[in-house]
Homo-oligomer: A and B are copies of this chain.
Amino acid sequence: MKVPLRILQGFLEEDTPFGDLTSETLAQGIQCVAGIITHEEGIIAGVEEATDLFSSLDLAVRPQVQDGTWSPPETRVLEIAGEAAKILLAERTVLNVMGRMSGIATMTRRLVDTVHAINPQCRIASTRKTAPGLRFLDKKAVMLGGGESHRFTLSDMILIKDNHLAFVPLEEAITRAKAQGPYRVIEVEVTTPLMAEEAVRLGAHVIMLDNMRPVEVAETLTLLENEGIRKMVIVEISGGITEENIQDYAVQAVDVISMGNLTHSVRSLNMSLEILDRE
């Protein structure tokens, strides 16, 4: 899963509609070696994208760390050699890509680790609540952090939500969804244990327990177990789950915890580009 170079070059053009006034004035014709250095620990992501973008400017790139690996602070993740003005031209664009992707990957990994310590089968999934236009980067970063992409888009699978059930009763909705054929997973958002049971009986592949407190999740799982239908379905929980309360949810025997804040409320990983050597 590789971001098309065209997209990365578009990011660069956004930052340089008429070139880089400063570096063209001060750094043209100078050869140097630079490094991208982290300033906090985290999962590194975006090395592939950085490599592609710097390479397209005729710079030599030497990745020092692979995408998806944990790095301590002050790690040199990438070295770039070539004309200083070109390196500085792309500096901020690359850091914005890598910082965001690494921030997403790092938070994902932290949550995955937290949850797996309690419940090794449970997965962490992202949602479609990404930055607009950055779906590809955001989903890739989640996966590099060990998370699940869930739906990429509205065209991937069927997810029946409250806003659909405002128009069509649950049974009819699932019937119509199934009539679309066997190639799409069908998920239903449910709000009560009984609704969960109904959705499973109607053949949903996945049920999403929406905004339930841990006790309600437990109650729902118990009902499904008691009815002997727990194994027929994937149980996902979503809504209101944060880094603070995720442990309360992880103790539940759910299959997936999905979280919009993995991608809609990102903290970039702190890193910078530094000149290492001037030729």
Between-chain CB contacts (< 8 Å), 30 pairs: A1-B19, A15-B128, A16-B154, A17-B136, A17-B152, A18-B136, A18-B139, A21-B154, A21-B155, A26-B177, A34-B163, A92-B128, A92-B129, A96-B129, A96-B130, A96-B132, A99-B264, A100-B264, A131-B131, A133-B133, A148-B183, A149-B181, A150-B181, A155-B156, A157-B183, A163-B273, A182-B205, A182-B206, A261-B268, A265-B266
Q: Is A234 an interface residue (CB 8 A)?
A: yes
Number of copies of this chain that the complex holds: 6
In the bound complex, CA of A26 to CA of B163 (Å): 10
A21-B154, A96-B131 given; name 18 further pairs at CB < 8 Å.
A1-B20, A6-B6, A7-B133, A14-B153, A21-B184, A25-B158, A27-B163, A30-B167, A34-B163, A88-B164, A92-B154, A96-B130, A123-B181, A149-B183, A150-B181, A163-B275, A184-B185, A265-B266
State which of B22, B100, B125, B173 has its C-beta within 8 Å of the C-beta of A132. Answer: B100
Provide the residues of chain B in CB contact with A95, threshold 8 Å: 129
State which of B9, B103, B135, B274 has its C-beta within 8 Å of the C-beta of A14. Answer: B135
In the bound complex, CA of A26 to CA of B171 (Å): 12
Provide the residues of chain B in CB contact with A6, threshold 8 Å: 6, 9
Provide the residues of chain B in CB contact with A266, threshold 8 Å: 265-266
| CB-nearest residue of chain B to A135 | B14
State which of B15, B128, B149 has its C-beta within 8 Å of the C-beta of A135. Answer: B15
B17 near A278 (CB under 8 angstroms)? no
Provide the residues of chain B in CB contact with A2, threshold 8 Å: 19
